[in-house]
Amino acid sequence: MSALNAPPAAAPLRTGDGAVPRSRARGWRGILTHWPQYLAIAPFYVLFLVFGLFPIVFSIVLSFTDWDGMGDIHFAGLSQYVYLVQDSRFWNAVANTFIIWILSTVPMLFLALVIAFLLHQNIRFRGIYRVAFFLPNVTSMVAMAIVFGSVFSDTFGIVNSALTALHLDSVPWLSSSWGIKVTIAVMVIWRFTGYNAIIYLAGLQSIPTDLYDAAKTDGASTWQIFTRVTIPLLRPIILFTVITSTVGGLSLFTEPQVLLGDAGGNGEAGMTIVLYQYNQAFTQFDFGYGSAIAWALFVLASVFAIINWRLLSERSETPRRPRTRRTR
Amino acid sequence: MTAAEPTHRPTAPTSSGSTASPSPSPTSSTPPRARRARRTRADRAAIARSRLEAVLTHLLVILGVLLSVFAFYWLAVMSTSTSAEIFGYPPKLTFGSHFAENLRHLTSSIDIVSALVNTIVVAGACAVLVMFFDSLAAFAFAKFDFPGKNVLFVVMIATFLIPGSLSLVPSFILMSEIGWVGTLQALIVPGAANAFGIFLLRQMAASAIPNELIESARIDGAGFFSTYWRIGVPMLRGGLAFLGIFTFITAWNDYVWPLIVLVDPGRQTLQTALQNLNSLYLTDYGMVMTGALVSVLPLIGVFIIGSRHFIANIAAGALKG
Amino acid sequence: MTSPTRRALLRAAGVTGLLTAPLAACGTSPTISEDPDELVLWYWDRSASPELLTKAARSIPGTASHVRADAIGTTFDTKLRTSLAGGAYIPDITYINSNNALYFRNENQFLDMNELGAKEYASDYYPWKWDLGTTPENRFCFFPLDIGPTGFFYRQDVFEQAGLPTSPDEVSEAVRTWKDWIDLGAELRKATGSALVTTAQSIYEQFLNASAERYLDEQDAPLYTKDGSAVREAWDTAMAAISAKVTAGIPEARKTDQNAGWSSGKIAGSVNAAWWSQVLQESAPDSEGLWRIADQPVRPGNSGGSFAAIPHTCKDPEGAFAFIRWINTPAHQAEAYNDVQLFPSAPDSYASDTMKYGGRFFGDQDPLEFFSRAAEHVPTSFISTWESVISGYFTLEITNVETAGKDPDRAWADATAAAEKALRKRGVLS
């Protein structure tokens, strides 16, 4: 195995103390040796301790109370969590969230990869294309609600008009259970594909071009370059987008709310976990229950983040690179 | 795996198509001399193929562009329309004649200049601080080993998973106790470093910064901070540009927290000012859409300027140099 | 059972000395305005006449104070509640929407305006509105601003096509009961294919809005479980409307579909409040002149309408009350109608003859005349603070029946079971 495939944090990187053996320096001495690194990461933890920890502790405490957001706080033991487990509306929201998450994340990340790959090629007008793909992410949500409401309108929408023109059955996008989920997923894909593509593009920027040149010289097809060069090199970034899309997907709120309102549409078919939490905390003013829902979501998100992490990182641990290209 | 690093993979940026391919294509397994002999015919085919590819690529991209731009175009149309036209049936997709009127209503309803200045200050400060603090931390996490690193990293990722929406009341109480209610630093300081950006840049650094560079900097006697400045920052340019742009956008568009904490009507951000145009009764959507358009345009400018950094490919050059 | 105060708990949760030390250092509750003569008002756009606010900004007549009016957007409740919970930067006067019953649980956050002399003005306002501003503890915390008396809006041209009665008087006469109203809807559907209203939910809600009895009584005991309760009657009416197919099944969130329905006449009516005429004019401007308003079956109800309240931290309660009374005199409410179409809660506003409806949206019919008459007949009712906790279960199940064909008996059983569970959870039932 080449030196490059050793963990990047190799012993020689330690500064100063040459007496420290290859094994890790322990205790205060080790910590002091690494003061610049601790200083570098300190701002995040300091800010978190000052501004983040208190609200978090507060919301954990709240989940064991029946606070209504204003009055006195009465402890309620585990009753919020007991109710949560038996609450069919909550489980409906969990199921909806997962369905929409799967419907949106997979096509979104794939499309984003393809777009990033295409924009990374030397095609003309790519500056303009980049801006175009970026626009959905900043277009105002109020405007989006109106646009999507019009486009997917059951009786008058553009999509159904097109379907009818093609002699296909029109779909009750905004009134059927699946129609609602698909429409929300489309909205998510529409809004975040460009965003993820831009992350990938930033990642691609860091891949040396000589790898492409080499692959091209070797006669690799575009598809081969995409699957054999681009995707493996982007794996850490893909891991990042999968984790953030998991967190984002499980916390889905804005799209269903602007499209369907606080109630989540017919039969609550578009009710997501966070929309339900919002409902309980900010329209029912049941902050205790809202907090319990939030922490249930945290557990779910953690489980899925860990699963994703394992799935993606195990594969990338298989070192596959003979020492070619980069050291040439 | 050494040093028990679940969070710290060797990034193994793999080979080109030829070497990693389990079933190598005929060309790549053919010795160079034979390849050269077949070149003319293959070249012609390749040129035709790449033409077709280029055309298809453009068609695909243009389709995506149209879908993306559509809603923005509609927003622009709505900003030139009256409320009635916006919700009219069938939807009107051509520009109306009420833009000037909407803009006049907007500027007379809110102090748009002062809101704009405040928003630029907040979003700009957030972007700069986040870029700086996050890249420092990411660089340390990605390229250095120190005791407790894994635990610290996992804690950081965990904070990223914590749902934030319930923290309004305690955060407000905290801000009022330290006397920051109504000030812009209440919007800037709490978010000056975040897990999202550290995680992103760490992942980018893992593949973008070769260890040889760090190693040679060490041999040259460079300390952590100078290595960060000389190698980390330039090599993370694309990621930093992305993080800067999107931190700016997030701060620019944030409204729930600013709405709670900015109690002084004379000190508002663009989004809180625009939110205050919404009524529980009747909302003038023409004016609201004009406000939305006005608030989006600067973001497009920021994106155009910042996104230049997505193109420049400096990693290769740095390695060779 | 202990019930620690918020601040005590917050400090305790403030994780040891790290936070508590600096917190303890500064003890005073910060105020929203340092100027002793300035009273801060939170309202939202179009909930007050801008002209009157400008006057009050100079000075509140009869006092040394003046008003600073801060417009707050649609996240009004969140902002107000956060400030009240945090005990800081609370406005001196605040407007509150028709969901004021939600604040009954925390009524001690607001001053009893009877102690400031509100009683002597009670006769100026509709008694049912005044009652809605009175808490179960009989404290008067919510002063009447505007109201939303309801009627039956319909498309005269579509009714004519269908061979139905057309003039408001004839239609009113034809729909004295909800059964007649649904029968008329069925005829309309048969003749033109048009729906009578958007959703069964809207029928259910407007039925209750016109009812003296609602979900819970003043002791928070459930009424909906009783035979022949108003909730059950409203439910049965909604079910009858669904089986007669007179609803379009398009909820409010789908604004574009609704507007298209109203514009095209595919939805030919709505039982709705006075303020809705403004919404309709903006939603379906092409249908100007085609709409009329008739009496809804049985009696008119009230939907929406806001209140003004004085938080307990107000620095000058007398001045605040003087402002609230001043901006709500019959004459000023009439001005507010002319400015921003707020429907007055003081009957004398109409008598003052200064209120004008200038539009032609309802042909030669004057909606002002219609709704001022309707407002006289709105029944007095009590809205429980817990109503919002359970009403959603009923409307959810009605939608399930309407759009997914759920069995109505099953739906009723599910709704009442879920409501009971929710009330138990909040400690209303034990």
Concatenated DSSP letters of B24-47: --HHHHS-HHHHHHTHHHHHHHHH
* DSSP class of C167: S
Contacts of B179 in chain C (CB under 8 A): 26, 30
C256 closest CB neighbour out of A149, A268, A284: A149
State the pLDDT at residue A219.
Answer: 82
Whether residue B12 and residue A290 make contact (CB cut-off 8 A), yes or no, is: no
State the pLDDT at residue A282.
Answer: 86
Q: What's the average model confidence in pLDDT over B310-320?
A: 47
Whether residue A206 and residue B204 make contact (CB cut-off 8 A), yes or no, is: yes
Q: Is residue B218 part of a domain?
A: yes
Whether residue C15 and residue A53 make contact (CB cut-off 8 A), yes or no, is: yes
Whether residue C70 and residue B278 make contact (CB cut-off 8 A), yes or no, is: no
Residues of chain A below pLDDT 50 = 1-23, 316-328
Q: For residue C176, give how far its alpha carbon lies from the nearest alpha carbon of chain A (Å).
A: 31
Q: For residue A247, give how far its alpha carbon lies from the nearest alpha carbon of chain C (Å).
A: 25
State the pLDDT at residue A220.
Answer: 82
State the pLDDT at residue A171.
Answer: 87
Q: What's the average model confidence in pLDDT over B58-65?
A: 87
| Mean pLDDT, rounded, of chain C | 91
Sequence-separated contacts (24+) of B92-95 with Cβ below 8 Å: none
Q: Is residue B228 part of a domain?
A: yes
CA quadruple A307, A308, A310, A315: dihedral positive or negative? positive
- Quick one: tokens of C369? 């005349």
Quote the crossing angle between the two packed helices A177-204 and B39-78, to the nearest 10°: 120
Given a cut of 70, is residue C12 above it in pLDDT? no
- Quick one: tokens of C83? 């400030």
- Rounded to the nearest angstrom, the gap between the alpha carbon of residue A308 and the centroid of all alpha carbons in its chain is 11
Residues contacting residue B41 through CB under 8 Å, at least 6 positions apart: none
Q: Is residue B65 part of a domain?
A: no
Report the CATH number at residue B270. 1.10.3720.10
Upper half-sphere CA count for residue C427 (Cβ side, 13 Å): 12
**DSSP alpha helices (H): ranges in C198-250?**
200-209, 230-243
Contacts of A53 in chain C (CB under 8 A): 15
CA distance B268 to B261: 10
- Quick one: tokens of C424? 């138990």
Q: In this structure, are residues A57 and C13 in contact, taking their beta carbons and an 8 Å threshold? A: yes
Question: Which one of A82, A155, A176 would you mutate to disrupt binding with C, by most C Cβ within 10 Å of its Cβ?
Answer: A155
Q: Using a CB–CB cutoff of 8 Å, tell me whether C275 touches chain B.
A: yes
Q: Is residue B69 part of a domain?
A: no
Residue with tokens 């701060």: B251
CATH number assigned to the domain covering A82-312? 1.10.3720.10
Residue-by-residue DSSP string for B65-114: HHHHHHHHHHHHHHTTS-HHHHT-SSPP-S--S-HHHHHHHHHHHS-HHH
Cβ atoms < 10 Å from Cβ of C90: 23
Search chain C and give the residue with CA nearest A174. C254
**Which is more confidently placed, B238 or A211?**
B238
Whether residue C45 and residue B182 make contact (CB cut-off 8 A), yes or no, is: no
Q: Using a CB–CB cutoff of 8 Å, tell me whether C119 touches chain A.
A: no
Strands C66-71 and C269-273: unpaired
State the pLDDT at residue B42.
Answer: 67
Q: What's the average model confidence in pLDDT over B45-69?
A: 83
Whether residue A115 and residue B199 make contact (CB cut-off 8 A), yes or no, is: no
Search chain C and give the residue with CA nearest A73. C3
Would you tell me which CATH number, out of the four given (3.40.190.10, 3.20.20.80, 3.40.50.150, 1.20.1560.10), belongs to the domain C148-302+382-425?
3.40.190.10
pLDDT band for position C28 (cuts 50, 70, 90): low
State the pLDDT at residue B317.
Answer: 39
Helix (H) or strand (E) holding C345: none
Contacts of A89 in chain C (CB under 8 A): 418
Q: For residue A262, give how far its alpha carbon lies from the nearest alpha carbon of chain C (Å).
A: 9
- Quick one: tokens of B122? 């907040």
- Rounded to the nearest angstrom, the gap between the alpha carbon of residue C211 and the centroid of all alpha carbons in its chain is 14
- Quick one: tokens of C286? 């092409």
CA distance B130 to B194: 7
Helix (H) or strand (E) holding B274: helix B270-275
* DSSP class of B265: T
Which of A18-32, B68-82, B257-271, C195-209 bottoms out in mean pLDDT, i.e. has the lowest?
A18-32
Which of B253-262, B283-292, C15-24, C223-232 bottoms out in mean pLDDT, i.e. has the lowest?
C15-24
Q: Using a CB–CB cutoff of 8 Å, tell me whether C79 touches chain B.
A: yes
State the pLDDT at residue B110.
Answer: 86
Phi–psi pair at C66, nearest 5 degrees: -135, 165
CA angle A161, A162, A164 (to 5 degrees): 65
Cβ atoms < 10 Å from Cβ of C194: 22
| Exposure letters C109-145 (e unless 16+ CB within 10 A, then b) | bbbbbeebebeebeebbbebbbbbbbbbeebbbbbbb
pLDDT band for position C159 (cuts 50, 70, 90): very high
Q: In this structure, are residues A243 and A305 in contact, taking their beta carbons and an 8 Å threshold? A: yes
CA distance B270 to A42: 32
Q: Could you read off the pLDDT of C179-216 as tens digits, one per residue?
A: 999 999 999 999 999 999 999 999 999 999 999 999 99
Question: Which one of A60, A70, A115, A142 would you mutate to disrupt binding with B, by most B Cβ within 10 Å of its Cβ?
Answer: A142
Which of B84-93, C66-75, C384-393 bottoms out in mean pLDDT, i.e. has the lowest?
B84-93
Strands C93-96 and C307-309: antiparallel
Cβ atoms < 10 Å from Cβ of A328: 9
What are the Cα distances from residue A269, in Å, to A106, C293, C400?
A: 21, 35, 11
Q: Assess whether the region C7-147+304-357 and the region C148-302+382-425 belong to the same CATH fold.
A: yes
CA distance C160 to C171: 11
What are the Cα distances from residue C167, in Å, to C164, C277, C292, C365, C367?
A: 10, 18, 8, 10, 14
Strands C269-273 and C150-155: antiparallel
Percent of chain B whose pLDDT exceeds 70:
82
Under CATH, which architecture does the C7-147+304-357 domain have? 3-Layer(aba) Sandwich (3.40)
Contacts of C255 in chain A (CB under 8 A): 146, 149
| Measured distance between the N- and C-terminal CA atoms of chain B, rounded to whole angstroms | 32
A47 closest CB neighbour out of B145, B193, B242: B193
Q: Could you read off the pLDDT of A108-131 as tens digits, one per residue?
A: 999 999 898 888 877 778 888 889
State the pLDDT at residue C424.
Answer: 92
**Which is more confidently placed, C260 or C51?**
C51
State the pLDDT at residue A104.
Answer: 96
Whether residue A206 and residue B238 make contact (CB cut-off 8 A), yes or no, is: yes
Q: Could you read off the pLDDT of C312-368 as tens digits, one per residue?
A: 999 999 999 999 999 999 999 999 999 998 999 999 998 878 888 888 999 999 999
CA distance B174 to B155: 23
Helix (H) or strand (E) holding C32: none
A138 closest CB neighbour out of B141, B143, B249: B249
Search chain A and give the residue with CA nearest C104. A71
| Mean pLDDT, rounded, of chain B | 80
Whether residue C396 and residue A263 make contact (CB cut-off 8 A), yes or no, is: yes
Q: Is residue B235 part of a domain?
A: yes
Q: For residue C88, give how far its alpha carbon lies from the nearest alpha carbon of chain B (Å).
A: 7
pLDDT band for position C2 (cuts 50, 70, 90): very low
What are the Cα distances from residue B149, in Å, to A37, A223, B55, C270?
A: 10, 39, 49, 64
Residue with tokens 């490919």: B313
CA quadruple C104, C105, C110, C111: dihedral positive or negative? positive
Residue ranges, CATH 1.10.3720.10, chain A: 82-312
Quote the crossing angle between the two packed helices B195-208 and A177-204, to the nearest 10°: 50
According to DSSP, the residues that pair with C293 across neighbouring strands are: C153
**What length is written for chain B?**
321
pLDDT band for position C265 (cuts 50, 70, 90): very high
Residue B182 lies in domain: 110-280
Which of A68-82, C116-130, C400-414 bottoms out in mean pLDDT, i.e. has the lowest?
A68-82
Given a cut of 70, is residue C7 above it in pLDDT? no
Which of C 324-343 lie inside 8 A of B, CB atoms?
A: 340-341
- ipTM of this predicted complex? 0.86
Q: Which chains touch A (3 or more CB pairs under 8 A)?
A: B, C
State the pLDDT at residue A184.
Answer: 94
Amino acid identity, residue C238?
Answer: A
CA distance C237 to C228: 12
Q: For residue B195, give how far its alpha carbon lies from the nearest alpha carbon of chain A (Å).
A: 8
Phi–psi pair at A255, nearest 5 degrees: -60, -55
Q: Could you read off the pLDDT of C125-154 as tens digits, one per residue?
A: 999 999 999 999 999 999 999 999 999 999
Sequence-separated contacts (24+) of A74-81 with Cβ below 8 Å: A74/C1, A74/C3, A75/C2, A76/A288, A79/C425, A80/A288, A80/A289, A80/A291, A80/A292, A81/A292, A81/A296
Q: What's the average model confidence in pLDDT over C5-16?
A: 49
Q: Using a CB–CB cutoff of 8 Å, tell me whether C223 touches chain A.
A: no
pLDDT band for position C29 (cuts 50, 70, 90): low
Q: Using a CB–CB cutoff of 8 Å, tell me whether A274 touches chain B.
A: yes
Q: Using a CB–CB cutoff of 8 Å, tell me whether B222 touches chain A.
A: no
Q: Using a CB–CB cutoff of 8 Å, tell me whether A52 touches chain C.
A: no
Residue by residue, what is the 3-state secondary structure of C385-407? CCHHHHHHHHHHHHHHHHHHCCC
State the pLDDT at residue A26.
Answer: 58
State the pLDDT at residue C6.
Answer: 52
Given a cut of 60, is residue B20 above it in pLDDT? no
Contacts of B109 in chain C (CB under 8 A): 45
> Where exactly are the structural domains of chain C?
7-147+304-357, 148-302+382-425
Phi–psi pair at B309, nearest 5 degrees: -75, -10
Q: Using a CB–CB cutoff of 8 Å, tell me whether A285 touches chain C.
A: yes
Q: What's the average model confidence in pLDDT over B172-180?
A: 89
Percent of chain B whose pLDDT exceeds 90:
36
pLDDT band for position B242 (cuts 50, 70, 90): very high
Q: Using a CB–CB cutoff of 8 Å, tell me whether B233 touches chain A.
A: no
Cβ atoms < 10 Å from Cβ of A1: 10
What are the Cα distances from residue C26, in Å, to B112, B176, B177, C21, C312?
A: 35, 10, 7, 10, 22
Q: In this structure, are residues A26 and B232 in contact, taking their beta carbons and an 8 Å threshold? A: no
Whether residue B158 and residue A41 make contact (CB cut-off 8 A), yes or no, is: no
CA distance B134 to A37: 12
Q: Among A175-179, B44-48, C382-386, which range has the highest average pLDDT?
A: C382-386
CA distance A37 to A42: 8
Helix (H) or strand (E) holding A112: helix A88-120
- Rounded to the nearest angstrom, the gap between the alpha carbon of residue B309 and the centroid of all alpha carbons in its chain is 12
According to DSSP, the residues that pair with C43 across neighbouring strands are: C71
Given a cut of 90, is residue B240 above it in pLDDT? yes
Q: What's the average model confidence in pLDDT over C295-299?
A: 97
